[in-house]
Amino acid sequence: MTDSSNPTHTQIDAFDLLGVGFGPANIAIAAAISDKWSLNELKQNLRVIFVDKNTVFQWHPGMLIPGAKMQISCLKDLATLRNPCSYFTFLNYLHSQNRLSAFINRSTTVPSRREFADYLGWAAREAEKRGVDVAYGEEVVSISKIRVEERDLIEVTSRRSPSDEVVVRRTKDIILSTGPSPRLPRVLAVLQPPQWTTQSTLSVPVFHTSYYMISIGSLLDKLTQSGTPLKVAMVGGGQSCAECLIDLYNRLEGSSHGGHQIDMIIRKDSLKPSDDTPFVNEIFDPAATDEWYNLPTDRLRAQVLYEYKNTNYSVVNPKTIDNLYELIYEQKLSDAIASRKGENVSKTRVNLRINETVVGANLIAREKDASLPHRVTLIRQNARTHQLIEDTYDIVICGTGYERKTWIRLLRESNLAKDFGLASATDDTRVRLVPAHYDVQFETGKPFDNVKEGAELVQEPDNDRHLNTESGTSSSSSTPPSSPSISLPPRSLPQTIQLRISRAYKLLPAPSALDTGNRVYLQGCEEATHGLSDTLLSVASIRSGEVLDDLLNAN
């Protein structure tokens, strides 16, 4: 029903299931629904819709770097592990595109990132053709529970772009797959405008690697017009930073003038390789989810995470490391030859600034040409010597991880907050997911005392070794090491609230709350309870079947 005098368009008819977000996690759900429809295992009149803020389907558009490869087999797609006969397998995608034989001739099951993105777009379109509704260009701004004709429903409000029209839908059950938000170090985040867009980089050239491919071209075009050598900082030591650095090097080497410099700023003393050897890789098997979920204590879970940290945290694929090392070695060779012959050195110089953290930053306007982007002064601190180094850069690119908090905000600002124990939560509250067999507690302070550094279960994956179901990148330089030169104000420890979640990814009500029968499922944010693979593609297909089976069994 539409009220022409009011910008709000309300759909009175309720959906059976509404998914927030339409990235790989929810596309996998849509594929599982479509498969059940085709097998007559699910009623055809089931009303399903997914709402996505992007105007068209896209997946990591900023990281579709030419030549970039996935780090997993194509068989870890949206369907194969759940149902190898599914229409939505990667192999069927290849067959539909007349590339199956050619793909086989490559003698590898690892596709390029560009091809996998195309596969995901194909799966999204095919799900729509088979009856799954998708509302693109709408950002969900709130959810709430309502009572309609003695029936409990969840009301979902979204804002349509670019008209700002408000759309209200009602649903019995909801899946929150809101995806990650790029995270910058605090000292750099404050430099950006409140409403950042890709155009912002033409004024403030500080951005996340997730925006690399959609920002770097126009920014370089603007900065290289003057013919002045550029100085670029890459902050982070993970896969995304390494890939962006190599691509940027190739772009600058191809420019008409030289003298450019790229500094890769990393906290460790070297780039560390990711471990994807066969036995280690079993941590991403679907069977590992059960083992992880059933561990009895946080300490055990933290220890497992710490042991497998080098599969997905601040690490770089060995082939990428080899390529980067070869680049730097060729740079040294060129320097030696040029020095002997009295010629100019290479056009672009790459430096690894190891054991360093960015502890301060500020913008500097260009005096000669105000139309050019500001320059950025970074203050770096060496973790061993505590020495402070100040450098000014034309561009700062951060591969500093992601946050997955949108689902928390949606619940916290809803009248559902009381049902899940979030009524007292604020922006500073730390929310932890715990398995259903835990006793829910409200606690203050660090929950993992005496666990090795780096093992906390609230970390975010920070490279795209497997590429997250909604994304992932490199380690952050946001926390400075201790130094006699810098005094940071003490921080009070935030309140921590624990939310229970079932093995089937369903949020469980607080003990004091009544279960209304409306189910809220989460996707892509349960690493603490379901294991390292949860934010990645490895279990997307299996998880979609588990969520759908749980929904159907409860009805």
Residue 392 in domain: yes
Phi, psi dihedrals of residue 286, rounded to the nearest 5°: -55, -35
Q: Do the bridges between strand 151-160 and strand 138-148 make them parallel or antiparallel, or are there none, so unpaired?
A: antiparallel
DSSP letter assigned to residue 486: B
- What is the CATH number for 212? 3.50.50.60
pLDDT at 10: 63
Nearest in space to 64 (alpha carbons), one of 217, 263, 181, 260:
217
Q: Which domain holds residue 38?
A: 8-180+540-554
**Cβ contact 433:526 at 8 Å:** yes
253 and 390, same domain (yes or no): yes
pLDDT at 406: 93
Q: Do the bridges between strand 442-444 and strand 495-501 make them parallel or antiparallel, or are there none, so unpaired?
A: antiparallel
Give the residue from 374, 398, 422 where a domain finishes: 398
pLDDT at 441: 52
120 and 242, same domain (yes or no): no
Distance of CA 4 to the CA centre of its chain: 39
51 and 70, same domain (yes or no): yes
Local mean pLDDT, 10-residue blocks, the chain (555 residues): 54 86 98 94 88 95 95 96 98 98 96 98 97 96 91 93 92 95 94 83 93 95 89 97 97 85 96 95 94 92 92 93 96 88 80 97 88 94 96 97 93 93 89 86 39 37 41 34 41 78 95 82 94 93 96 80
165 and 219, same domain (yes or no): no
Residue 122 in domain: yes
Give the residue from 363, 398, 433 where a domain finishes: 398
pLDDT at 92: 98
* Number of domains the chain contains: 2
Give the residue from 341, 374, 398 where a domain finishes: 398
Residue 436 in domain: no
1, 17, 45, 156 from 12: Cα distances, Å: 7, 14, 17, 12
Residue 340 in domain: yes
105 and 241, same domain (yes or no): no
Residue 482: how many other CB atoms lie within 10 Å? 11
The two tokens of residue 27 are 């596309």
169 and 230, same domain (yes or no): no
Nearest in space to 206 (alpha carbons), one of 185, 226, 224, 221:
185
366 and 320, same domain (yes or no): yes
Residue 119 backbone class (left: φ over 0; alpha: ψ -120 to 50; beta: rest): alpha
DSSP letter assigned to residue 483: B
Which residue matches tokens 């910058």? 184
> Could you give the CA distance from residue 418 to residue 411 in angstroms, rounded to a whole number?
9
> Could you give the CA distance from residue 462 to residue 314 in angstroms, rounded to a whole number?
6
**H or E element that contains 127:** helix 113-129
Residue 280 in domain: no
